[in-house]
Amino acid sequence: MRVRPLLRRLKASLPLLPRPLPAQLSAVHFVLVDRATMARVHGDFLGDPTETDVITFPYGEILVCPAIARDRTTEYGLETDQEVLLYALHGLLHLAGYDDTTPVLAKEMAIAQQQLLKRVLEGQTLS
């Protein structure tokens, strides 16, 4: 996992977000965790003790599990670093007000997520 390129891409993604982050959010922290930690946090805070790919806390902390990203690379055709980036962008979209708790909202978020990932990977900036 190459952390510096990931952080550069995440920083570059901020002006590309389709909705702004909340003004009261002073910082965003990305934390890469192992499977056991992710399952424990998932259980402690969301009542589901299974592994998950990303958890976003409204105060600006985004937990991502690279091991799960590595498992899913063939599913989505991405490299591990790109899959981790996808999860981090998913977390940023949650912070920007997107939700995926219903099929309609999940579809809207998935479209925004794919468009954002494409723009970040292509290195596009706002015009």
Nearest to 69 by CA among 6, 13, 4, 18: 6
In the predicted structure, residue 125 carries a pLDDT above the cut 60: no
Crossing angle of the two packed helices 35-46 and 66-76, in degrees rounded to 10 = 100
Q: From the CB of residue 98, how many other CB atoms can be counted at a distance below 10 Å? A: 20
* Number of domains the chain contains: 1
Residue 88 lies in a domain: yes
Residue 54 lies in a domain: yes
In the predicted structure, residue 9 carries a pLDDT above the cut 50: yes
- Band of pLDDT at residue 77, cut at 50, 70 and 90: confident
- Mean pLDDT over 70-89 rounds to 90
- Mean pLDDT over 95-107 rounds to 96
Residue 15 lies in a domain: yes
* pTM for this model (two decimals): 0.91
- Mean pLDDT over 102-114 rounds to 96
pLDDT at 35: 96
**Residue-averaged pLDDT of the chain:** 92
- Mean pLDDT over 28-57 rounds to 96
Residue 44 lies in a domain: yes
Residue 127 lies in a domain: no
β-partners of residue 111 are none
CATH number at residue 43: 3.40.390.30
In the predicted structure, residue 127 carries a pLDDT above the cut 60: no
- Mean pLDDT over 49-66 rounds to 96
In the predicted structure, residue 37 carries a pLDDT above the cut 60: yes
Residue 90 lies in a domain: yes
Q: Cα(107)–Cα(3) distance, rounded to whole angstroms?
A: 29
Q: By residue range, what is the domain housing residue 22?
A: 3-122
